[in-house]
Structure 1
Amino acid sequence: MTLSGCAGTPAPAPTVTVTFTPTATPTPSALPTDTPTAEPVPEAELIPNPEVPDLVPNAEPVPLPQGPAVDLGSVPGARGTAVANTAGTLHTYTVVEGDAFFDIAQRFNIPVQLLLTMNPSVPGLGERIYLQQIINLDWTTTR
């Protein structure tokens, strides 16, 4: 079955004519030179803003504790062995599998930033430590 003759002839497309008229580019006007300026308000008339707090300088920073490392015992992220001198002061720690730098710092009660300062050979923020790597625990020396 075919349908023929159902569609009429298409209507012709209308013709549209567009005409452009150029306009002159406006020139910028000069700013007046004799504009009045505001008089400064005398300091005695200034009203303090109650929403703005007074600025107070920070207190001097408290230095990090730099006492000897204290072994708080083996934990899951710090199971290696520590080496102490004859006086019992801890000097080094040997990294074993599963150790994390943060856990080592916690085990020996040393702030992570201080332990990083004491071990400049540890890259980044301590996220890449290696098996058998020696970590310095003695704050008086730097490895």
Structure 2
Amino acid sequence: MNSARPTTTRVRARVALAAMLLLPLGLAGCAGAPAPVVTATVTLTPTPTATPTPTPTPTPEPDAPVVPNPTITPNAEAVPVEPLPEGPAVDLGASTGATGAPVTDGTGAPTSYSVLEGDDFFAIAQRFDLPVQQLLRMNPSVSGLGENIYIRDVINLDWTTTG
């Protein structure tokens, strides 16, 4: 069988041979030239440290003596505190916070009051028409501002005596 046409095996062999020969030539143009190697040389030169120059100290000048010259301002006149009015207690009648009966003297003026449950110092002062400060002054045994009163405590209502 010797025909003018090549056989399939031969064609394949020729194609393979051509591919092997041409492939390196085709790829040779794809690869770029190798990158150049850059080298740098750094030389360090030490910089000398600057020496500070001392600042001259100024010569102190003698200070002039300081003479105080205060301005004397007298205090303002004291404003007199008016004393609380003192007078007999007047029973205005039982009210919430002061419901008990007071002890009275021969003229009917209240002289003392026994604290009952629910009573408070402020209500007692209002019932007997006395300022709380005056009632506190009349009852030095009551501590605080009258918050500490207890059942059966006796509150003095006679302004001429202290409790």
Interval of TM-score (by shorter of Structure 1 and Structure 2): 0.5 to 0.7
Given the alignment, which residue of 99, 115, 138 partners 2:119?
Answer: 99
Task: Give 5+ residue unaligned stretches, structure 1.
Answer: 1-28, 44-54
Taking the aligned partners of 2:100 and 2:158, their CA distance within structure 1 comes to 16
Taking the aligned partners of 1:142 and 1:61, their CA distance within structure 2 comes to 21
Letter in 2 for 1:83: V
Q: Where does 1:1-143 land on structure 2 (aligned, <5 Å)?
A: 32=60, 34-36=62-64, 56-143=76-163
* Count of matched residue pairs: 104
Letter in 2 for 1:112: V
Q: Does the C-alpha gap of structure 1 residues 99 and 35 become closer, same or farther in structure 2, counting only changes over 3 Å? A: same
Q: Is 29-38 or 82-91 further displaced after alignment?
A: 29-38
Deviation of the 1:124 alpha carbon:
1.6
Taking the aligned partners of 1:68 and 1:31, their CA distance within structure 2 comes to 81
Taking the aligned partners of 1:39 and 1:91, their CA distance within structure 2 comes to 66
TM-score between both structures, scaled by the size of structure 2? 0.55
Taking the aligned partners of 2:162 and 2:105, their CA distance within structure 1 comes to 16
Determine which structure has greater relative contact order: mean sequence separation of CA pairs < 8 Å that are 6+ residues apart, divided by chain length.
1
Q: Does the C-alpha gap of structure 1 residues 142 and 57 become closer, same or farther in structure 2, counting only changes over 3 Å? A: same
Q: Does the C-alpha gap of structure 1 residues 30 and 72 become closer, same or farther in structure 2, counting only changes over 3 Å? A: farther
Larger relative helix fraction: 2
Provide, for residues 34-53 of structure 1, a one-character-per-residue CA deviation record: whole Å limited to 9, x for no partner.
13468989x9xxxxxxxxxx
Bigger Rg, which one: 2
Task: Give 5+ residue unaligned stretches, structure 2.
Answer: 1-56
Letter in 2 for 1:89: A
Deviation of the 1:113 alpha carbon:
1.5
CA-based RMSD: 2.9
Taking the aligned partners of 1:95 and 1:65, their CA distance within structure 2 comes to 24
The runs of at least 4 aligned residues of structure 1 exceeding 3 Å deviation read 36-41
Provide, for residues 33-74 of structure 1, a one-character-per-residue CA deviation record: whole Å limited to 9, x for no partner.
513468989x9xxxxxxxxxxx74243221111100011222
